[in-house]
Amino acid sequence: MRELMARRRRAGVPADLWIKCRKCGAMHYRPEFEAGLRVCTQCEYHDRLSAGQRLDLLLDDPSSFEEMNVGVVSADPLGFSRPSGSYPDRLEKARAATGRSEAVVCGVGEIQGHSVAVGIMEFGFIGGSMGGVVGERITRLFELSYDDCLPLVIVTASGGARQDEGLFALMQMVKTTAAAVRLRKARVPFIVVMADPTLAGVTASFASLADVIVGEPGATIRFAGSRVVQGTLSRRARAEDHTSEWVLRHGMIDMVVPRRDQRRTIGRLIELLASGRETACVHPADSAAALSV
Amino acid sequence: MLEFERELDELRDRIVGLEASGNVDLTPDADRQIALLRLELDARTADVFSKLTPWQRVQLARHRDRPHVLDFIDRMVDGFLELHGDRLHGDDMAIVGGMGTIDGRRVVVVGHQKGRGTRQNVERNFGMAHPEGYRKAVRMFELAERFRIPVLTLLDTPGASPAVEDEERGQSWAISESMAVMVRLKTPIVAVVIGEGGSGGALAMGVADRVMMLENAIYSVASPEAAASIIWRDSSFAEHAAQALGLTSDALYEAELIDKVIVEPAGGAHRDYDGAASNLKAAVVDGLDELASITTERLVEARYAKFRAMSAHVEQPQEAENSR
C-alpha cells in the first residue's frame, strides 16, 4: 500500500486521491472508496455522506430528482454573531462549502418504484442544524406527503437546534412534531434513517416519531451532545454508548441497516406499509380533524 | 444574594436596624428617616430592575430563593392532590403533577420541581427530568383529556437530564412523545415559564394554547452555559451567550414566540411569593376562561396553526428549482 502511494506520488498523482478511514486508519483509494459508498472495506465504518451522495444512494433515478423550496432561506432574527463570524456570513460560507442553500434537501423521487417525498439533511451545512428554514422545509415536506399521500423518507444528520436563531430554532421542534402527528392520522408511511450524527433537537422531535426508524451502522444517536454533557455533568460520555447499535439494544430504533441495503429495505417497508387497500392513505375531512380523530 | 441586589439589601438592613433600635417608641425623627429610606428603596429597586441585563435575568430566574412549582401550587391551587409515577419505570421527583381547583375551576397541573439545598436538589435532580418524568407528564395530560380537565404546565428546568441512563431510557423519545401528545390533546393547555425554560427539557411541556412567562423567567434554545460550550467551546462565556440568545420575556414577547409576560412584584418573585402567585393566578385564570369557550376541534386546530406559524425564514423567488 505504502509503495503504491509512493509510486502514485512520483507519478504526480495528488495525495488527496487517498483517504484514511476515520475509525481504523486503513488507507483507501478515493475513487474506489466513493464507489463503495464511503464504507471502509476493512472495518465497515460508514463515513459521512453529503446530501447529493445520499440521493444517489437512495433513489432509483437520482437525475430526475427535483429539489423543492430552495427559495426558503434564513432570516437572521437575532442579529447573531459568533467568534467565527456573523450568522449571515456563516450561512454564506456553508452555501459555498456545500453547494446547498440550507441544511436540508427536500423533494420527490422514486425508491424501488415507489414515489416518495424525500428529505436529506446536510451535515456539512452548519452541522445540519435545524433553524427556521430546516423546520419550514421539513414541515412543508410533511404537508406534501400528507396532501399527496406520498410515503415520506427523511435521512437525519444534525447537531440539533441551530443556536444562532435562539428560541425560533427550538420552536421548530414543535412545528415538525405537529406535522408528523398529523401525517400519522393519514396513514402515510414515515421512515427515518438516522445517520451520523443525529442529536438533540432533531432526535427529540420529528425523527423519533417515524413509523419505522433505521439506524446507519456506527452512527452517533443521542439526546445530549458530548460538549453539553461535559459542561453539565463535568464528565465525558463514552462514544460507544451512543451508537445505532446501542440505541437498537435499548429499544429506541427498529433496525441497523448497512448503506448498500438501505434502498432495498426502505422499498420493502413502503411496500408492506402502503400497499394494502384497507390501510391506504386516508384524509380526514379537513386538517384540523386530522389531529382530533 | 445577587451582586446587583446588594445595595437594595443594604437599604433594607438600614431600615430594619432603625426599626429595631426604636422598637418601643419610635421618635418622629427616626420615623421620618425610615419613611425616606423606604421611598429610596422603592426608587432604587425600580431603577435596578428596569435596567436588568439578560444575564441578570438568568441569575434571577435561577435565584436560590426563587419560588418553585410547589410554592406556586400551594398558593394558587385549592385542594391539590399530587399524583405519582409513569406506570412504566418509576416516579421522577423532578416532575410534580396532580389535580386541584383554581377559584373553582378544575385543573391538572404539571411542572418541573427544583429543590433547595443539596439534599433536595439531588432528590429533584436540580429540576432536570428523566424520561420517566416526561412519561409521567404524558400520563397526566391524557388523564386530563379523558376527564375534560384543562392543563396548566409550569416550566422551570435547566434542561432535560443528559446522563447516560437517560439516553438508555430514551430521553429523546420521551420528549418528542410528550410534545406529540400535547399537540393533539383535546383539552385547553396553558403553559407558564416561571423560572428557567431550558431547551427541549422545558419545551417538552411547553406546547400550549397560551404560552406565558413570568417577567424575570428565561426561555432558551439551550442554557447559556450549554450554548456557550457549543458556540465558544467554553461554558464560561455564558454571560455572552445570555446576551446573544434573546432569552428574556420581553424579547420573546416582542418576537411573538410567547403570548404574555406576567409582571413580578417589586424586587422579583423571590421577594414576595404571595404577590408573584397572585399575579400568576390571575393570568392563568384569564387564560383558562378565554380557552373554555372554544370547541376542542377549534382549539386543536388553532394550537397547530400557532406553532406552524413560528418561523424565521424569508421566501425568495426560486430560480434554481431544478438543481440537484
Please tell me the distance from the alpha carbon of residue A119 to that of residue A257, in angstroms, as a whole number.
18
Residues A32 and A129 in one domain: no
Question: Is residue B228 situated within a structural domain?
Answer: yes
- What ipTM was estimated for this complex? 0.94
Distance from the A291 Cα atom to the nearest Cα atom in chain B, whole angstroms: 5
Domain that holds residue A34: 1-47
Option in A136, A172, A228 nearest B226 (CB):
A228
Please tell me the distance from the alpha carbon of residue A73 to that of residue A63, in angstroms, as a whole number.
24
The domain that holds A152 is classified in CATH as 3.90.226.10
pLDDT grade for B205, boundaries at 50, 70 and 90: very high
Q: What is the arithmetic mean of pLDDT over B289-305?
A: 97
Nearest CA in chain A to B200: A201
The count of structural domains within chain A is 2
Please tell me the distance from the alpha carbon of residue B186 to that of residue B299, in angstroms, as a whole number.
8
Contact A177 B169 (CB under 8 A): no
Residues A158 and A202 in one domain: yes
Residues B182 and B247 in one domain: yes
Instruction: Report the alpha-carbon angle A49-A51-A52, nearest 5.
Output: 95
Per-residue pLDDT reduced to its tens digit, B216-262: 999 999 999 988 988 888 888 999 999 999 999 999 999 999 999 99
Identify the three-state secondary structure at position A145.
Answer: helix
Contact B322 A67 (CB under 8 A): yes
Domain that holds residue B39: 3-51
Complete DSSP assignment for B265-301: PTT-GGG-HHHHHHHHHHHHHHHHHHHHTS-HHHHHH
Residues B190 and B100 in one domain: yes
Question: CB within 8 A of B72, min separation 6: which ones?
Answer: B111, B154, B194, B276, B277, B280
Q: Please tell me the predicted confidence (pLDDT) of residue A293.
A: 45
Please tell me the distance from the alpha carbon of residue A146 to that of residue B34, in angstroms, as a whole number.
69
Nearest CA in chain B to A134: B313
Residue B121 Cα to chain centre, angstroms = 17
Omega before A197 within 30 of 0, i.e. cis = yes
Residues A68 and A90 in one domain: yes
Q: How far is CA A225 from CA A130, B172, B208, in A?
A: 15, 12, 27
Q: Please tell me the predicted confidence (pLDDT) of residue A237.
A: 60
Question: Is residue B266 situated within a structural domain?
Answer: yes
Nearest CA in chain B to A85: B231
Within 8 A of A62 by CB-CB distance, chain B residues are 324
Instruction: Answer whether A89's CB lies under 8 Å from A97's CB.
Output: no
Per-residue pLDDT reduced to its tens digit, A162-182: 999 999 999 999 999 999 999
Residues B244 and B301 in one domain: yes
Please tell me the distance from the alpha carbon of residue B208 to that of residue A232, in angstroms, as a whole number.
28
Residues B67 and B194 in one domain: yes
Residues B43 and B192 in one domain: no
- Judged by average pLDDT, the poorest of A80-94, A227-241, B63-77, B132-146 is A227-241
Residues B45 and B76 in one domain: no
Residues A82 and A102 in one domain: yes
Contact A80 B244 (CB under 8 A): yes
Residues B132 and B88 in one domain: yes
Residue B31 Cα to chain centre, angstroms = 40
Instruction: Answer whether B4's CB lies under 8 Å from B48's CB.
Output: yes
Contact B162 A228 (CB under 8 A): yes
Number of H helices, E strands in chain B: 14, 9
Residues A53 and A42 in one domain: no
- The neighbour count for residue B13, using CB atoms within 10 Å, is 10
What's at A280, amino acid-wise? Answer: A
Question: Is residue B321 situated within a structural domain?
Answer: no
Question: CB within 8 A of B191, min separation 6: which ones?
Answer: B152, B153, B154, B155, B205, B206, B207, B208, B210, B211, B212
Option in B177, B184, B255 nearest A291 (CB):
B184
Kindly report whether the global pTM for this prediction surpasses the value 0.90: yes
Question: Which of A65, A156, A163 has the highest number of chain B CBs within 10 A, making it the mutation to test binding with B?
Answer: A163
Cross-strand pairs, B70: none
Question: Is residue B140 situated within a structural domain?
Answer: yes
Q: Please tell me the predicted confidence (pLDDT) of residue B264.
A: 98
- Closest by CA to B114, choosing from B100, B129, B131, B99, is B129
The count of structural domains within chain B is 2
Question: Is residue B244 situated within a structural domain?
Answer: yes
Per-residue pLDDT reduced to its tens digit, B41-91: 999 999 999 999 999 999 999 999 999 999 999 999 999 999 999 999 999
Instruction: Answer whether A213's CB lies under 8 Å from A194's CB.
Output: yes
